[in-house]
Chains A and B, each alone.
Chain A
Amino acid sequence: MVLVLALGDLHIPHRAADLPPKFKSMLVPGKIQHIICTGNLCIKEVQDYLKTLCPDLHITRGEYDEETRYPETKTLTIGQFKLGLCHGHQVIPWGDLDSLAMLQRQLDVDILVTGHTHQFTAYKHEGGVVINPGSATGAYSSITYDVNPSFVLMDIDGLRVVVYVYELIDGEVKVDKIDFKKTTATTHSAH
Chain B
Amino acid sequence: MSRGIVEEEAPSLTRVFSPENRSLGALRSVQWRVNLGILPPSPSVNDLRRETADSRRRYAGLRRRLLVDPHVPKDGGSNSPDLVMDNPLSQNPDSTWGRFFRNAELEKMVDQDLSRLYPEHGSYFQALGCQGMLRRILLLWCLRHPECGYRQGMHELLAPLLYVLHVDCERLSDVRKIHKDHFIDKFDGLSFEENDVAYNFDFKKFLDSMEDEVGSQGNSKKVRSLDELDPEIQTIKLLTDAYGAEGELGIVLSEKFMEHDAYCMFEALMSGARGSVAMADFFAPFPAAESHSGLPPVIEASTALYHLLSIVDSSLHSHLVELGVEPQYFALRWLRVLFGREFSLHDLLVVWDEILTADNSKLGKVSGNEEISGFKILDSHRGALIVAMAVSMILYVRSSLLATENATTCLQRLLNFPENINLKKLIAKAKSLQVLALDSKISSSLSTFDVAYSRSKSAVSGRNLSSGPVSPNTPLSVVADSYWEEKWRVLHKAEELRQDDSLDKLAPSGKRRWSEKVRLVLSRTESDPSPARAGKYKKGHRSSVRRSLLEDLSQQLGLEEDTEAGDCFDTSNIEDRHSVEGQVEGQNDTSIASICTAEERCESGSGASVSEESSSIFSDPASSGSISNDHENDTEKSSVASNLSSDDNDDRHQSDLEDSPLPVSSPPEDALLSYPDENESSGKTVSASKESRHLSGRFQWLLKFGWNNVSQEASDKGVSNETAKSANRDSKSSTADSSTAAGASRYSSPTSQRDVVDQNVMGSLKNLGQSMLEHIQVLESVFQQDRVQVGSLDNLSKTNIVGKGQVTAMTALKELRKISNLLSEM
Contacts and interface: CB of A to CB of B under 8 A. Distances in A.
Interface string B86-103: 011111000000000100
A26 interface: yes
Interface in A143-173: 153, 155, 157, 160, 162, 164, 166, 173
A105 B90 CA distance: 34
B83 interface: yes
Contact of B71 (A26, A157, A173): A157
A50 to B, nearest CB: 15
B101 A31 contact: yes
B84 interface: yes
A160 B90 CA distance: 21
Interface of B: 71, 83-84, 87-91, 101
Interface string A50-65: 0000000000000000
Given A175-B83, A176-B83, A177-B83, A166 B88 contact: no
Interface string A118-159: 000000000000000000000000000000000001010100
A174 interface: yes
A43 interface: no
A26 B71 CA distance: 20
B111 to A, nearest CB: 16
A88 to B, nearest CB: 24
6 contacts: A3-B88, A27-B89, A153-B89, A157-B71, A162-B71, A166-B87
A25 B71 contact: no
Contacts of B101: 30-31
Contacts of B84: 173-175
A174 B89 CA distance: 12
Contact of B87 (A25, A157, A175): A175
Contacts of B90: 26
Given A31-B89, A153-B88, A164-B87, 20 more contacts: A3-B88, A26-B89, A26-B90, A28-B89, A31-B88, A153-B87, A153-B89, A155-B71, A155-B88, A160-B71, A164-B83, A164-B88, A164-B89, A166-B87, A166-B89, A174-B84, A175-B84, A175-B87, A176-B83, A177-B83
**Which 4 pairs across A and B sit closest by C-beta, in order of nearness?**
A175-B83, A26-B89, A175-B87, A164-B87
Contact of B91 (A26, A155, A160, A166): A26
B70 to A, nearest CB: 9
Interface residues of A, number: 20
A176 B83 CA distance: 7
A3 B83 CA distance: 16
A2 to B, nearest CB: 11
Nearest to A23: B89
A112 B91 CA distance: 28
Q: Is the interface of A mostly helix, strand, loop or mixed?
A: strand
Q: Which of A28, A173, A175, A177 has the most CB of B within 10 A?
A: A175
Interface string A1-35: 10100000000000000000000011110110000
A26 B83 CA distance: 14
A134 B88 CA distance: 19
A25 B88 contact: no
A43 B361 CA distance: 69
Contacts of A157: 71
B557 to A, nearest CB: 69
Contacts of A31: 88-89, 101
Nearest to A5: B89
A162 to B, nearest CB: 8
Nearest to B100: A1
Nearest to B69: A1
A166 B101 CA distance: 19
Interface in A38-54: none
Contacts of B71: 1, 155, 157, 160, 162
A106 B690 CA distance: 75
Nearest to A155: B88
A6 B89 CA distance: 13
Nearest to B71: A157
A25 B91 contact: yes
B82 to A, nearest CB: 9
A92 B415 CA distance: 73
Contacts of A25: 91
A171 B781 CA distance: 72
Nearest to B97: A31
A75 to B, nearest CB: 24
A178 to B, nearest CB: 11
Contacts of A3: 88
Contacts of B87: 153, 164, 166, 175, 177
A66 to B, nearest CB: 28
A173 B787 CA distance: 70
A160 B72 CA distance: 12
Nearest to B83: A175
A76 B339 CA distance: 51
A26 B98 CA distance: 12
Nearest to B85: A175
B91 to A, nearest CB: 6
A153 B88 CA distance: 8
B96 to A, nearest CB: 12
A128 to B, nearest CB: 21
A157 B87 CA distance: 15
Contacts of A153: 87-89
Contacts of A155: 71, 88
B131 to A, nearest CB: 19
A52 to B, nearest CB: 16
A69 B591 CA distance: 77
A185 B57 CA distance: 42
Contacts of A30: 101
A36 to B, nearest CB: 16
Nearest to B80: A177
Contacts of A177: 83, 87
A149 to B, nearest CB: 14
Contacts of B89: 26-28, 31, 153, 164, 166
A28 B87 CA distance: 14
Contacts of B91: 25-26
A1 B84 CA distance: 20
A175 B89 CA distance: 10
A79 to B, nearest CB: 13
Contacts of A160: 71
B137 to A, nearest CB: 22
A6 to B, nearest CB: 13
A176 B87 CA distance: 9
Nearest to B90: A26
Contacts of A174: 84
A177 B81 CA distance: 10
B249 to A, nearest CB: 32
A3 B88 CA distance: 8
B67 to A, nearest CB: 14
B104 to A, nearest CB: 9
Nearest to A1: B71
Contacts of A175: 83-84, 87
A30 B91 CA distance: 13
A31 B88 CA distance: 8
